[in-house]
Structure 1
Amino acid sequence: MLVMKNKRSSLVIKFVFFTVPIIVIAMTAISLTGYRYAKKEIVKNLRSEMSLQAQKTSSTMNGFLLKERAVAQGLAKATENILTETYIAKDYEKLLVLFLGIYPEVAGMGIWFKENAFPGIKKAAPYVYRDGNRIVTSDEYTKNDFNIWTSEWYQVGTASKDGGWTEAYKDEVTGVSMTTVAYPIYDRTLHHLLGCVTVDVDISNLKKAVNDMKISHGGNKFLISNSGVFLAGVSDDKLMKQRAQDDPNIMFAEAINSMLNSTQTGLFEFEKNGSDFCAFYAPLEETSWYIILEFEKERVLASLNNLQYFFLGIGFLSVIVMTMAIYFFTRIVIVRPINGVIARLKDIAQGEGDLTMRLKTKSKDELGELALWFNVFMEKIQSIITKISDNTNRVDGASGDLSDIAAELSFQADKTSDRANNVAKATAELKDSITTVAVAMEQSTANTSMVASASEEMSATISQIVESVEEASQISDAAVNQAEETAKRMEELEQAALTISNVIETITDISEKTNLLALNATIEAVKAGEAGKGFSVVATEIKELSSQTSEATNDIKNQVSEIQQSSNHTISSIDEIVKIINQINKIIHTITIAVEEQAKATQEITANIVQANEGLIEINRNVNQGASISSEISNNISQVSEAAKQATGKSSELKGQSAQLQELSSALKEIVNSFKISG
C-alpha cells in the first residue's frame, strides 16, 4: 500500500489569513462609506434647515413691512378723501394723529404736498411723531426752508403709483434706526399728483427678530439693506455704518455683491481665518433687504469626525476579537472533527479493516453532516461485505446443488420434447375456431359504427340549439340592463330638475327682497329731495330688473315642472318594459334548461355507443391477434422441442461449470474474512 507523506499546513492558519483581510477591507469600506454618506446628509440637512429658516424669517419680516405699506396706502386714501381746495392744517394733523395712535410701531407720519398745491400756499407739510407716550404735531417742515421735494422720501413716494421704501437710516434726534415707506396722493377728480404721504417705521422689531434667531452649530445671522449696509446682527460700530461688500475678506465681499444682484434665495461659501464658511440668504421682497445666516463647516462636522474615530477604534477592536474568535472556532468546530475523520480512515486503511467503527458527532452543521454520511458510507460498506460473505456461503452450497439440477434438467428435457408435439396438434385446431369468430365480430363492429355516427349528428344539432337559446338569453339580459340604466338616468334628470326648482325659489326670494330694497331706496331718495334724484333713478332700474327676474324665474319653474312630469311618465314606461323583458328572459331560461338536459342525455347515449363500438373493435383486434398468436404458438412449440434436445447436451457442460464456481466461491470467502464486519 502506497501512503503519501507531505508536510501538512494548518487549516486554521489558512482560514484566518483568508478571512481577516476580507474583514479589515469590509470594515474600512463600511466606515468610509458611512462617513461620506453621513457628511453628505448632515450638510444636506443643514442646508435645508438654514434655507428654510432664512425663508421663514424673511417671510415674517416681509409680512411686517407689507403691513406698514398698507398703513401708508390707507393714509393716502384717507388724505384724498378729505382734500379740499383750501389747505386746513388742523384737518390733516387730526388725520395723522388718528393713524399714529392706531399703529404703535410707527415712529412718525407726514403728508407732503407738491409745491403750490393750494392757492397762496407754496409749501404744505403737516407731520406728527411719537415722543415717548405722547403724539406731537409739527408744522416745522411747512415753515422752515427745508426743501422737501428733493428729499429721498418725496422722490420715492412720487416716482410711481405704488410708492416705495427709502434706505434705512438712524434718526439724528432719537437715535432710532428706521426706514420710511412713501405712497403718492392724487386729486380724485383730475387724477393729478398732489404729493405723497410717509410712514416712518421703527425697524427695532426687525432687529429683535434677527437677534432672537437661534442658529445651530454656533452660526451667525445678520440683516443688510439693498445697498449692503448692516441693519442687524453685528456690533454697534458697524450697525447702520459699514457695508458688507466693504469687508476686507475678498471672497465674502464678492459673494455679497453677487447676492445683491440676485432676487432669489441662495447660498455662498467663503474662507475666513483659514476656515471654510457657508452662508444662506433670503431676500425681503418688499424692501430688497437680505437676511443672511452663516456657519463654520468644521464646527458642523466636528461631531462627525469624532464619530469616525470612534468607529475606527471599534472596528480595529472588532477585527482583533473576530480574528481570535475565527481561530478558536475553526480549531474547535472544524479542524477537530476533521481530525477525527482522518483518524478513523487511517485506522481502516492501516489497521485490521474494522468496518464496525463509527464517528461520534453532535453538531448539525456541514462537518456534522460529513460525519453522518461517513457513518452511512461505513454502514453500507459493512452491509455490502456482510452480504458478500453470506452470498459466498450460499454460492458455495448452490454450486453443489447445480450439478444435481443439471442431471435432472437432462431428464426433464426429454419429457418436454414429447409434450411439445401434443401441444402443436391442439394449437392447429384452436386457430381454425378463432378465424370463424373473427368474421362474425367484423360484421357487429360495422353496425355499431353506423349507430354512433347518427348519435353524434343528433348531439351536434342539440348543441346548436343550446347556443341559440343562450344567445337569446344574453340579448334579453342586455336589454334589461339597458332599460334599468335608462331609468337611472331619468331619475337623475328628475333630481336635477328638483335642484333647479330649489335654485329658482332662492332666486325668486332674492328678487322679492331686491324689489323691497328698491322700494325702500326710492322712498329714501324722495326724502332726500334734490340730492336723491340720481339714486331714485337707480332704485327704479333695480326694481324693474327685479320684476323681470321674477317673471323669468316663473317661466323656468313652469318648464322644470313639465320636465319632472315627463320624467315620471318615462320612468313608469321603462319599468313596464323591464318587467316584460324579465318575463321573456324567464321563458328563455326554462327553454335553455330543458335543451341542456336533452343535450346531456344525447351526449351520454353517444358516448355509450362510441364506447361499445370501441369495445367491439378491440375484441375484433384481439380475436385477429389470437389467430396470429396461435400460429406463433405452433411455431414456438416446434422450437421448444428443438430446444429441449439442445438442453440435454448443455446439461453436461453445466456440471463442469458448477465445479469452477465452487473454486471461485472459496477464493472470495478468503477475501471477505480479511474485514471485521461484526462486533
Structure 2
Amino acid sequence: MSVSTRIAAGFAALTAILLALGVYALVQIGDVRHTVDMIVERDLASMEALNRIDHALSRKVEQRASLVQAFLTGDNSRVREATTGWRNAVEEAQRGIAEQERAAETYRDNSVTGARSELWARMARQLAEGDRALKQTRADVETQLAAIAAGDRAAVLATEADIVRDHAATVGRIGQARETLNVAIERGRDATRDVYNASRISIILGLMVAIVVAIAVAVTTRRSIVRPLDAFMGFVGRIGEGNLSTTTDVTGADELGRLGRTLNDMVGGLRTIATQNRAATNDLNAATTEIRASTQEQAASVEEQLAAVQETAATVDEITHSGAQITRRAQEVIAQAQATAQVSNAGLTAVADTARAMDAIREQAEAVATNIVALSEKTQAIGDIIATVNDVSERSHLLALNASIEAAAAGEQGRSFAIVASEMKQLADQAKGATRNVRSILGDIQRGINSSVMLTEEAVKRVASGKERTDAGHAAIEELATRVQENVQTFQQIVASTNQQQIGIEQVTIALQNIREASQQTAASTRQLDQAASDLGELSRTLVGLTERYRL
C-alpha cells in the first residue's frame, strides 16, 4: 500500500469513526429527547386530564349543592338548570376518566421502564375504581333527583349520605391516581436521567474508542512513514559525510520504497562519479608531474641554449676582431706591395729588400691563411650551434604542441597553460626562423672563407715564385713589379672579401642577439609554464584530497 493510500485510509478511518460517533451521539440525543418528550408529554397530558377530572368533579359537587339548595328553597327553574349542569359535569368527569384510563392502558404497553408500566397499570385500575365510584355516585344522585322530582324532602336528605360517601370514594380514587402519577413522574425523571447517563457513557466510550483508534492509526502511520524517513535521514547524513559504501534497506512498492531505490541509484551514480573523479584526478596529478618535469627539463635546455647563444656571440665577437686584424694586415700588405712596386725600378739593390718583403708577404699570407682556416673552423662551430638551436626550437615546438594538447584536455583550468604553450610555440617558431637565417649567412661566410683560402694559397705560391725570380735577376724585377701589382689587387680583393665577411659576421651578431632575446623570452615563458604546472599540481592535489573524503 502506498504512503498516500495509507494516509488517506487512516484519515478515512478517523473520519468514519468520528462520523459514526457523531451519528451515534445524534441517535442517543434523539433517544434521550424522544424519551424525555414522551415522558413529559404523557405526564403532562395525564396531569392535565386528572386536573380536568377534578375540575369536573368539583363542578359536579357545586351543581348538586346548588340543586339541593334550589329544591329546598323551591326554585324549580334553578333546579332544572343545576340538574343540567350536574349531568354535564358528571359526563365530563366520566369521559375524562375513561379517556385517561385508555391512555394509561396505552402507556402501560409501551412504557419506557417496567416501573412506569406497573404504575400506569395501577393508575388504570385506580381510574377504573374511580369510574365505578362515580357511576355509583351518579346512580345515587339520580335517585336523589327522582326524590326531588317527587318532592320527597326526606328521601332527598336520606340519599345525601350515600352521595357524599360515593363522591369521597371517587375523589379518593382520583387522588390515588394522582399520587400514582406523581410516582410515575418521579420514575420518569429517573428514567430520563438513566437514559441520559447511558447515552453519555456510551458517547464517552465511543469517544475513547475513537481516540484509541486515532492513536493506533497515528502510531501505525508514524511507524510506516516516520521510521523510514528517519532511516533516510541517517542514510543521507552518511552520504553527506562522504560514506558512499552503504545503501538503504528501505524498499518496497510505495513512495518510500521508490525513494529508497532512487537514493540507492543516486549513491551508485555518486560512487561511479567519485571513482571516475578519483582516477581522473590521479591521472591529472601524474600528468601535471610529468608536465612540470618536462618544463623543468625545457627550462634547463633553454638555459643551456641561452648559454650556447652567449658563447656563440662571444665567438662571433672574436671572429669580428680577427676579421678586423686581417683587414689591417691586408692593407699593410698592399702598402708594402705598392712600396715594392715603386722601389723595384730602383734596381738590383732593392732586390734584397724585395726578397725580404716577399718573405714578409709570404709569412703574412700564411698567417692570413691560418686565420682564415681558424675562421672557417669557428664558422663550422657556429653551424653546429645553429643545428643545436634548431634542435632546441623543434623540441620546444613539440613541447608546446604537447602542452596545448594537455591544456585542451584540462578544460577551463588549463586555459592559462594553453596561453603559455602558444607563446612557447611562437618563440620556437621565431628561433627556428632565426636559425635558418643564420645558417644562410654562415653559408655565405663559408663560401667567402673558402675563396679567401684559395686566394691566400695562390698568393703564397706567387710570392714564392716572385722570390725565385728575384733571385733569378734583374730581368725578373719588372715581372716581379707586375706580379706585386697583381698581388696588391689580390689583397684588395681579400680586403673586400674580408669586409663582406665582417658585414656577414655583424648580421650573425644581430641574429645571435635576436636568438638570445628569444631564448630569454622562452626562459621566461618556461618559468611561467613551470609556475602554471605547479599551480595545476596544487589543484590536482587539492582534488585528490577532496576525492579521498569519499569512502567507496
Same fold (TM over 0.5): no
TM-score by length of 2: 0.31
The structure with more helix, counted as a fraction of residues: 2
The structure with more strand, counted as a fraction of residues: 1
Structure with the greater alpha carbon radius of gyration? 2
